[in-house]
Amino acid sequence: MSALFERIAAVPPLSEEDRARAEHYAVISGLFAAAPDAAFLQRLPVLATTWGNTSNPLGQSWLLLADAARGIDTDTLEDEYTRLFLTIGKPEVMLYGSFHIAGFLMEEPLVELRHDLAELGLGRRAGISESEDHIAALADVMRHLILTGPDAAGLQRQKLFFEKHLAPWYEALADALDRAPESRFYARTAPLLRAFFAVERLAFDMV
């Protein structure tokens, strides 16, 4: 899966927990950056054998997602992605933080995000048309912060970025994915968003 932002730092050793967190963010980015291809879909049930073997909400969300991945082909999924997120005018589901936080695209939350990205030394990759507050881009940033900052200072950067740019609106996005009439596969992504980000929020509350 292609990253939405340039990587500009070496990757230090990671704990197993941080590797799992980074992988979750990579999956979320891959789910929403574009319609997943066959290789990505085939990988989801494999990941679910590890992360779906618990009875907690995160584990159960992985089982739902794996089941959805087994039951859909790439053409159908591409059509669903287009109808949900790329419709001319106002799409059924908006994947941009500014919309869910401020009610409009390209608003103050995006300005603040761009400032924070510059402070982190991150730049948008050439050829990417989506604005930086797209859910896939934000997940990619969080993955980058985990990979490059497993120390105390890095954890604080992760906490600040998550609380400012993801926590305020991920539940609204999950609700929109649930409600959208055209949402089939993507309705199964909503439990993963809620469960994983809830775990992240709880962990950051203890930092």
- Delimit the domains of the chain by residue range: 16-205
Provide the pLDDT for residue 8.
43
Determine contact, residues 57/191, Cβ cutoff 8 Å: yes
Question: In whole angstroms, what is the distance from residue 35 CA to residue 42 CA?
Answer: 13
Taking domain 16-205, whether its CATH number is 3.40.50.720 is answered by no
Provide the pLDDT for residue 12.
64
Provide the pLDDT for residue 13.
78
Name 176's bridge partners: none
Provide the pLDDT for residue 149.
82
Determine contact, residues 139/146, Cβ cutoff 8 Å: no
Provide the pLDDT for residue 124.
78
Provide the pLDDT for residue 11.
56
Query: Residue 74 carries which side chain, given as an amino acid letter?
Result: T
Q: Identify which of 152, 155, 149, 122 has the alpha carbon closest to the alpha carbon of residue 138.
A: 122
Residues of the chain above pLDDT 70, percent: 94
Q: Is the pLDDT reported for residue 2 higher than 70?
A: no
Tens digit of each residue's pLDDT (9 = 90 or more) over 80-97: 999 999 988 789 999 999
Q: How confident is the model at residue 177 (pLDDT cuts 50, 70, 90)?
A: very high
Among the ranges given (14-23, 72-81, 124-133), the one the predictor scored with the smallest mean pLDDT = 124-133
Buried b (16+ CB within 10 A) or exposed e, 123-153: ebeeebebbbbbbbbbbbbbbbbbbbbbeee
The more confident residue out of 72 and 130 is 72
Helix (H, G, I), strand (E, B) or coil at 29: helix
pTM of the model: 0.91
- Name the helix (H) or strand (E) containing 172: helix 170-179
Question: In whole angstroms, what is the distance from residue 81 CA to residue 37 CA?
Answer: 12
Residues of the chain above pLDDT 90, percent: 76
The more confident residue out of 183 and 87 is 183
Q: How confident is the model at residue 6 (pLDDT cuts 50, 70, 90)?
A: very low
Name 185's bridge partners: none
> DSSP string of 117-149?
HHHHT--BPTT--S-TTBHHHHHHHHHHHHHH-
> DSSP string of 64-103?
HHHHHHHT--HHHHHHHHHHHH--SSS-SS--BHHHHHHS
Provide the pLDDT for residue 184.
97
